[in-house]
Amino acid sequence: MAVYGWSGKRLGQKSSAALLLTPFVVAYLAFLVIPFLNGIWISLHNWNLMAVAFDPNAKEFVGLRNYERILWGKNIVWSPAASPLVQWSAAFVLLSTLLLTAFGKISRGTAVLVGSIALILFVACGFHPGAGGRWYDRRFWPTVGNTILFVALTVPSITIISLSLAVLVNRESRAMAVFRTIFFLSQVLSVTVVTLIWQLLFSPRQGLIANVITLFGGSPIHWLTDERFAMAAIVITTVWWSLGIAMILFLAGLQDISRDIYEAAALDNAKGWRAFRHITLPNLKRTITLVVVLQIILHFQVFGQSHLMTGGGPNDSTQTLVRYIYQTGFRDSELGRATTMAVFLFVIMGAFSLVQFLLGREDKD
Amino acid sequence: MSGVELKNVVKTFGDIEVIHGVDLTVEDGEFCVFVGPSGCGKSTLMRLVAGLESITDGTIRIGERDVTKLDPALRGVAMVFQTYALYPHMTVEENMSFGLRMNGVPKDEIRRKVSEASRILKLDDYLKRKPKALSGGQRQRVAIGRTIVRGPEVFLFDEPLSNLDAELRVEMRVEIARLHKELGATMIYVTHDQVEAMTLADKIVVLRDGRIEQIGKPLDLYNDPDNRFVAGFIGSPSMNFLAADVRTGAIQSPALDQRLDLPSGKPADGTRLEVGIRPEHLSIDADGSYFRIDLIERLGGVSYVYLTGQQGERVIVEEGGSSRLQEHDHVGLAFNAADLRFFDADSGSRIR
C-alpha cells in the first residue's frame, strides 16, 4: 500500500495522529498540566489571594515552609502507641498480610496494597506533639483523619452493596431492567439535589427516618447536628448516591463470565453462595480492584456532601480535606497554604492511581 | 455404572415445545450418540439429562433412581461442554479437583484421582498452568479430565470436538473412543457430525425438530434407514434421491432408465416415490446419456463424480481412484436393484 505525504493530499499515519491529538494536548496542557505546575509554584509562596490580586508582587517565596506549617509542629515525637486503636489494628493487618503472603494465600499485588496502607497508617498515626509541643496547624491532621474515615466507611460499603445489587439484578427480565435503571438513577442527580433529599430524610422533626424511629417508640436522632451521627449521615448519603456507577461496572464484569462456567460449577456441586465464592468473586477480581481504586480516588475529594449538609460540623467532625482547602484558599485567602494541601491530596490520589496501574499490569501476566 | 431411561420427556421454552415426548433407553456402559441438524433439540435433551434445564413433563431415570427433579450435582453425571467451560482463574489441577473439593472428598483421594486422570490424559506437564496457557486440544483434555475424576455414572459430551481443528478432532475422537473402552461407563454424546456419530456410537439416536427419527446401531441406520431424513443424514457423501412414480404395477423413474419391481409393501398406482441409493452403490454406465458429468473430485483412493440429469436431478457416484471419466461427458447409471431404498415422497417414510 502506498503511503502518501503532503504531496498526495493525504496525511501519513504519524502526521494525522499528531493533528488529531493536538486539540486534546492543547486543552490538557492549558487546563491541567500548567495549572498543576502553577499550583506547586504557588504552594512555595506565602500567597494571599486578595493581596496578590491587587499587587502581583505581594507574594513572598517561602520554600517548603508551607509544607512544614501544615504537616509538622513544634516538638513532634513518634511513639507506637500515640493512637493505639488505629496503630495496633494497622500493625495487626500488616502482620497478617506478611503471614498470608508467606503462605501464598494472597497475591503479591493485594499484599503490597494492603501492606503499604497498613504501614503508612501505623507510622503516620504514631506522630504526636511531645511535652509542650503542638501542631502548627491543629485542624489539618484531624481533617485528613476525617477524610480517611469517610473513605474507609464509604468505599467498602459501596463496593459490597453495589456488588450484591449487581448480582441480584444480573438477570434477563424486564423487572430486572427496571431495577437496574432505578438503582442507577441516583447517580445522575447532582450533589445539591442528593443532599437536599437526604437533609429532608434526616430531618429530626419531619424526616422519614425520624418518623419511622418514632413509630417504633424511639426518639428521633439529630443526624446532622449530633457529633456521633453526622459522619454516618454523610456516608449514607454518599453510598446511596454512588451505588449506580459501581453497580454498572460490576454488571459489566458479571456479564463477562460465561454461563457455561456456572453450569459446569452446578454440576460440580457449586451453586448459590458457593458459586459466588468460588466462581464469581475470583473472576471479578479485576473489576473489584477497579471499582475500589476509582471510589477511593473519587471519595477522597468529597466536598459537597459535608459542605451542604453539615458545614463541616458539628465541631469539625465532618470537615474534609477538600472543604478545608476551599476554606483556606477562598475564605481565608491563604492560597499558598491551600495549594500545599492540594498537593498533599494529589500525592495520596496519585499513589492509589499508581497502585491501580500496577495491579492492572500484574493481572495481565 | 448405570443406564439412562427417558420416558415421554417434554420440554417447552415459553409457548414453544422443543422436545415432543421422547422415549429412550441408554443401556449401562453404552456409548449413545444424539445426532441431528442444528436446532433439532439434541443439546437440550442432553441438558435435560444433566439437569441444567428443568423438564416440563415426563421422567428421567439414571440407574435405579428417578432424577427428574434432582439437582444436577446429585445426578451422578459429569459433562464436557462445547466451550470446555474451564474455570479461567484455576490451574489445570484446581479445575480437575474442584468438583471433588465441593463434594468434600478427602485431600489424599483428590490427589490420587487427579494424578490418575492426568496420567490417562497425559496432562502431567500442565497441572500448574491456567487454561489460557493451553492449546485447544489440551483444554479439551482438561475438560474431559474434570469429568473423569468425578467418577460419574454417566458421562455427557456436548459437541466436544467442534471447536478443534480437523486433525485434532480425529485424534480426540480416537481418544474418546479409547476412554470409553477403558472406563466402560455409560456415555451420551451430542454432535451434528455424522462421522463422529458413526465412528463412536454403540447406538445412534437421530433427532429432528425435537422428535426421535430413528434409534439403532450405526450400520443398521446406514443400511436400513426408517425414513428419508435418516437416509439422507447418515452417510457422507449423502444418499442420492431420485423422483419416481408407481405406474402399472412397477416403479418408473426417468433417471434410472428402467422399470423396477415394486417393494413388498406394494404401493398403489400413482404413488409418488423417492428412490434412494448411496454413491458407493452406483457406478457409471458409459453407454447411457441421461446424465452429464459436472465435476469430478479425485481424492486418490476414490473419486466422487457429480452428475446432473436432464430434469435437473443431482447425483453423486463413487468411482475408483483411477477413473478415466472426463467432465462434461454424458453417461448413465448402473446399480444393483437390491441397493435401492424406496421412500414415500409425501411422508418421507420408508416403503419396504
Final residue of a structural domain among B233, B268, B288: B233
Residues B255 and B228 placed together within one structural domain of the fold = no
Residues A165 and A284 placed together within one structural domain of the fold = yes
Q: For residue A175, what is the domain's CATH number? A: 1.10.3720.10
Position A4 pLDDT exceeds 70 = no
Return d(Cα B80, Cα A61) in angstroms, integer.
Answer: 73
Query: What residues contact B209, with CB distance under 8 A and at least 6 apart?
Result: B20, B39, B40, B41
With 0.90 as the threshold, say if the pTM is over it: no
Predicted local distance difference test score (pLDDT) of residue B325: 84
| Domain count for chain B | 2
Residues A155 and A114 placed together within one structural domain of the fold = no
Angle between helices A174-185 and A140-169 (to 10 degrees): 170
Which of the two residues, A5 and B233, has the higher pLDDT score? B233
Residues B122 and B175 placed together within one structural domain of the fold = yes
Residues A114 and A180 placed together within one structural domain of the fold = no
Final residue of a structural domain among B199, B233, B267: B233
Residues A196 and A220 placed together within one structural domain of the fold = yes
Q: Which long-range contacts (CB under 8 A, 24 or more apart) does A143-147 make?
A: A143/A316, A143/A319, A143/A320, A143/A321, A143/A324, A144/A321, A146/A231, A146/A316, A146/A317, A146/A318, A146/A319, A146/A320, A147/A300, A147/A302, A147/A320, A147/A321
B135 and chain A in contact, CB less than 8 A: no
Interface-testing mutation among A173, A262, A269, with chain B (most B C-beta atoms within 10 A):
A269
| Domain count for chain A | 2
Give the whole-number percent of chain A exceeding pLDDT 90. Answer: 47
CB contact under 8 A, B77 and A261: no
Position A299 pLDDT exceeds 70 = yes
Predicted local distance difference test score (pLDDT) of residue A363: 58
Query: What residues contact B320, with CB distance under 8 A and at least 6 apart?
Result: B302, B303
Would you call A312 helix, strand, or coil by DSSP? coil
Residues B246 and B267 placed together within one structural domain of the fold = yes
Does residue A229 lie in a domain region?
yes
Position A5 pLDDT exceeds 70 = no
Residues B161 and B13 placed together within one structural domain of the fold = yes
Does residue A24 lie in a domain region?
no
Residue A343 banded pLDDT, cuts 50, 70, 90: very high
Mean residue pLDDT of chain B comes to: 90
Residue B171 banded pLDDT, cuts 50, 70, 90: confident
Does residue A249 lie in a domain region?
yes
Three-state SS for B1-53 is CCCEEEEEEEEEECCEEEEEEEEEEECCCCEEEEECCCCCCHHHHHHHHHCCC
A271 and chain B in contact, CB less than 8 A: yes
Tens digits of residue pLDDT in A34-65: 999 999 999 999 988 888 888 888 888 898 99
Which residues from chain B sit within 8 angstroms of residue A263, using beta carbons? 52, 72, 79, 81, 85
Confirm if A166 and A251 have CB atoms less than 8 A apart: yes
Residues B211 and B340 placed together within one structural domain of the fold = no
Residues B185 and B313 placed together within one structural domain of the fold = no
Residues A129 and A160 placed together within one structural domain of the fold = no
Q: Residue A268: closest CA among chain B residues belongs to which residue?
A: B99
Distances from the Cα of A64 to the Cα of A28, A37, A321, B7, B19, angstroms: 27, 15, 20, 85, 79
Does residue A269 lie in a domain region?
yes
Residues B127 and B274 placed together within one structural domain of the fold = no
Return d(Cα A25, Cα A18) in angstroms, integer.
Answer: 10
Nearest chain A Cα distance for residue B159, angstroms = 13
Does residue A239 lie in a domain region?
yes
Tens digits of residue pLDDT in B244-295: 888 877 888 888 777 777 777 777 888 888 999 999 999 888 888 889 999 9
Residues A195 and A341 placed together within one structural domain of the fold = yes
Residues A219 and A117 placed together within one structural domain of the fold = no
Would you call A193 helix, strand, or coil by DSSP? helix
Full domain range(s) for residue A174: 138-364
Does residue A25 lie in a domain region?
no
Nearest chain A Cα distance for residue B147, angstroms = 9
Q: For residue B65, what is the domain's CATH number? A: 3.40.50.300
CB contact under 8 A, A269 and B102: yes
Final residue of a structural domain among B177, B210, B233: B233
Residues B12 and B156 placed together within one structural domain of the fold = yes
Distances from the Cα of B325 to the Cα of A128, B74, B316, angstroms: 102, 61, 14
Residues A319 and A261 placed together within one structural domain of the fold = yes
Nearest chain B Cα distance for residue A271, angstroms = 9
Q: Which of B83, B146, B150 lies nearest to residue A260, judging by beta carbons?
A: B83
- Three cell numbers, residue A363: 493481572
CA nearest to B242, candidates B305, B306, B315, B335: B315
Predicted local distance difference test score (pLDDT) of residue A1: 46
Return d(Cα B41, Cα B37) in angstroms, integer.
Answer: 9
Interface-testing mutation among A258, A263, A268, with chain B (most B C-beta atoms within 10 A):
A268
Which residues from chain A sit within 8 angstroms of residue B150, using beta carbons? 268
Tens digits of residue pLDDT in A303-317: 999 999 988 878 889
Predicted local distance difference test score (pLDDT) of residue A158: 95
Residues A192 and A277 placed together within one structural domain of the fold = yes
Return d(Cα B284, Cα B307) in angstroms, integer.
Answer: 10
Per-position DSSP letters for B125-180, written without gaps between them: GGTTS-GGGS-HHHHHHHHHHHHHHH--SEEEEESTTTTS-HHHHHHHHHHHHHHH
Residues A87 and A201 placed together within one structural domain of the fold = no
Does residue A58 lie in a domain region?
no
Position A11 pLDDT exceeds 80 = no
Side-chain-side CA neighbours of A55 within 13 Å: the count stands at: 5
Nearest chain A Cα distance for residue B279, angstroms = 41
Predicted local distance difference test score (pLDDT) of residue B289: 85
Average pLDDT over residues B208-233: 93
Residues A87 and A164 placed together within one structural domain of the fold = no
Residue A172 banded pLDDT, cuts 50, 70, 90: confident
Position B61 pLDDT exceeds 90 = yes
Predicted local distance difference test score (pLDDT) of residue B256: 79
Q: Which of A258, A267, A285 lies nearest to residue B83, judging by beta carbons?
A: A258
Return d(Cα A242, Cα A158) in angstroms, integer.
Answer: 7
Is the bond into B160 cis (omega within 30 degrees of 0)?
no
Residues A298 and A185 placed together within one structural domain of the fold = yes
Full domain range(s) for residue B13: 4-233
Does residue A6 lie in a domain region?
no
Residue A231 banded pLDDT, cuts 50, 70, 90: very high
Tens digits of residue pLDDT in B65-87: 999 999 999 999 999 999 999 99
Distances from the Cα of B306 to the Cα of A212, B239, B316, B342, angstroms: 84, 13, 5, 22
Return d(Cα A241, Cα A157) in angstroms, integer.
Answer: 12
A279 and chain B in contact, CB less than 8 A: yes
Please work out, in degrees rounded to the nearest 5, the angle formed at the alpha carbon of residue A108 by the alpha carbons of A105 and A111: 75
Final residue of a structural domain among A135, A156, A181: A135
CA nearest to B19, candidates B27, B7, B28: B7
Residues B14 and B97 placed together within one structural domain of the fold = yes
Residue B39 banded pLDDT, cuts 50, 70, 90: confident
Average pLDDT over residues A113-126: 87
Residues B303 and B226 placed together within one structural domain of the fold = no
Q: For residue B260, what is the domain's CATH number? A: 2.40.50.140
Confirm if B163 and B136 have CB atoms less than 8 A apart: yes
Residues B223 and B296 placed together within one structural domain of the fold = no
Final residue of a structural domain among A118, A135, A152: A135
Average pLDDT over residues A239-262: 92
Average pLDDT over residues B174-187: 90
